[in-house]
Structure 1
């Protein structure tokens, strides 16, 4: 399923091990806003090691004596990692509990501040990563050159393998769900399966654009997205000014997040996407029946400050990615990892 997600810059430049210890995969959330210091929501900056985000939210709800729905966070973070992020807990007219009394292994409340609003899903600029590649066997010099190229040209914005569940199980479950529309599923599972189906179709289109070499260039009829924003605009023609903006990473081509509605793309772009997804009528029609609105996702994202630092036989990688992009996808552009 994932072997056809072509790397944009050539074959991997070596092999390494990842996540030998949770400290080998460190993630710090880059928030959109900072808590103001007053309000009915307690915002908590939490460091966790070896725990998943939903479980931590449940532990905070239990300590505060509130319902799970009163605890929120901007995004899920890796379990097998050391991560830092904001949570918010709604406490109208109530003082903070003693957050230091939290009894959750590997979890520390580093800071607590009040704010007037809850933290909403997706309300983050991105994430800062610090990854350790152990026992690297390859050409470190060539890898540093490719890292420099990623800083300049950006990263193919594939959905990572974790989007599809263990061994692609969520995608196969989506196919079964679409084959039997009368089958009722819990809302959370249904959402996971729909996301897997949309992500798979997007990855198919992006892989074809990578194969053609125009994943970071204009194709007549493309739909463009402004860097760091959700705003879209149609590009029926590839004007020189647009090519200049693409090269500067100010705008990015997009691919489909399948669903109901009319596509904004036209011309050559529309023909490419139709041809690429012609064999996936089951998924396309299932998504159209299920009801998510057709949307677009950038085919490319900006990589901020990618640095590679050798340490003995290991390599340390540090970089920032926007929300919704995958560090493991960046690693796939550099090395084979296990």
Structure 2
């Protein structure tokens, strides 16, 4: 039985609340807003707010992308030049509508102004996230496995892999748009964006493409295809995509490579178990760690250009992964499609959950709460605890 058949049988089974860094007051250049949503992605909610309230998407600050199939609370910033209010939106009969109130039983969200702050929110700008998760189909053998694996987590933490949300913000999870961009193949990048690796026999017939996809497209995606219909090159049409969407292509590919490096590192040093991940990928989790004081301080770079690794095992892991996927040094810090890509940075190899508690349990379910730092994923912890 797969992970989501146990932890997300309904959105209320997965509740996420951001722990914000900003505190609202009476002064400041930005409004701080609380966004509570159900069964809606963060980007979808932002697009609806932008469209209905005439606030440019790039003016809305947020700290992270929250799960779609969940109930989540997060925070937004908007410049004070825009009017804000208590807004609710619901998806009804195939379209978004503004409503007086949303009862959080369907697909929708509400926004509440909290006050003013002096700066906008940026990605990662939060203390962490508090999760409340219900695990269902929690039969005896799974229960025993769960508590046994939790003893490992208490002692050694768990590998800080990027979760599936990092790869679901683009159209397809089975291909990486950035790989085409790095080769200068903007036509291939657009094809990958809309169809992944699926073959399509009318690619290039932009009118037919527009007619086929139009009911499911965002406005900027329609604008992109209209640009192709007007004769824009693939590169110029690609730049019609909002920058935050274009950046997702970079984040997705770099996150995949980083996960692969961590997986190689774990397999090279520790007893491990492989656990299924999306797209037939695997994640490797250690079962025992002989150098936990070292490991919990280890940070793994994205490219190694600015932060060259000193750990010899890590060096070899990075070399193997980059060679396997044909990553070239000239790609690092490249300017592609109006954005800097393959930039370097550091990410902790290991994370320890805080405040882990069992709130309720029955013969068939258990309800948990725990807090993770910004950028760490509850689903990565749960995949190990349940090994599904």
TM-score (norm 1): 0.74
1:172-230 per-position Cα deviation (integer Å, ceiling 9, x unaligned): x3333333456533344542222222112211221122223459xxxxxxxxxxxxxxx
User: 2:348 maps to what in 1?
Assistant: 298
Q: Contact 2:300–2:309 at 8 Å: present in 1 too? A: no
User: 2:365 maps to what in 1?
Assistant: 314
1:161 aligns with 2:212: no
Q: Contact 1:164–1:170 at 8 Å: present in 2 too? A: no
Larger CA deviation: 191-200 vs 174-183: 174-183
How far residue 101 of structure 1 moved from its aligned partner, in angstroms, is 6.5
Q: Contact 1:170–1:193 at 8 Å: present in 2 too? A: no
How far residue 158 of structure 1 moved from its aligned partner, in angstroms, is 0.8
TM-score (norm 2): 0.65
How far residue 284 of structure 1 moved from its aligned partner, in angstroms, is 5.8
How far residue 156 of structure 1 moved from its aligned partner, in angstroms, is 0.3
Distance in 2 (CA, whole Å) between partners of 1:49 and 1:132 is 16
Taking CA–CA contacts closer than 8 Å with sequence separation of 6 or more, which of the two structures ends up with the larger relative contact order?
Answer: 1
Matches within 5 A, 1:1-40: 17-40=6-29
User: 1:176 maps to what in 2?
Assistant: 180
Q: 2:114 is matched with which residue: 112, 115, 120? A: 112
User: 2:60 maps to what in 1?
Assistant: 71
Kindly tell me the number of residue pairs found equivalent between the two proteins. Answer: 294
Larger CA deviation: 139-148 vs 317-326: 139-148
1:274-333 per-position Cα deviation (integer Å, ceiling 9, x unaligned): 234332224665456454332221111121122334234012221111111111111110
1:59-113 per-position Cα deviation (integer Å, ceiling 9, x unaligned): 4445655333332211111111100111122124x7x544257626532235522
CA RMSD of aligned residues (A): 3.3
**Per the alignment, in what secondary structure is the counterpart of residue 367 of structure 2?**
strand
Distance in 2 (CA, whole Å) between partners of 1:283 and 1:26 is 40
Q: Contact 1:16–1:136 at 8 Å: present in 2 too? A: no
Q: Contact 2:14–2:70 at 8 Å: present in 1 too? A: yes
**Structure 1: runs of 5+ lacking an equivalent:** 1-11, 216-242
Q: Contact 1:263–1:294 at 8 Å: present in 2 too? A: no
Q: Contact 1:63–1:97 at 8 Å: present in 2 too? A: no
**Per the alignment, in what secondary structure is the counterpart of residue 117 of structure 1?**
coil
How far residue 257 of structure 1 moved from its aligned partner, in angstroms, is 0.8
User: 2:285 maps to what in 1?
Assistant: none
User: 2:197 maps to what in 1?
Assistant: none
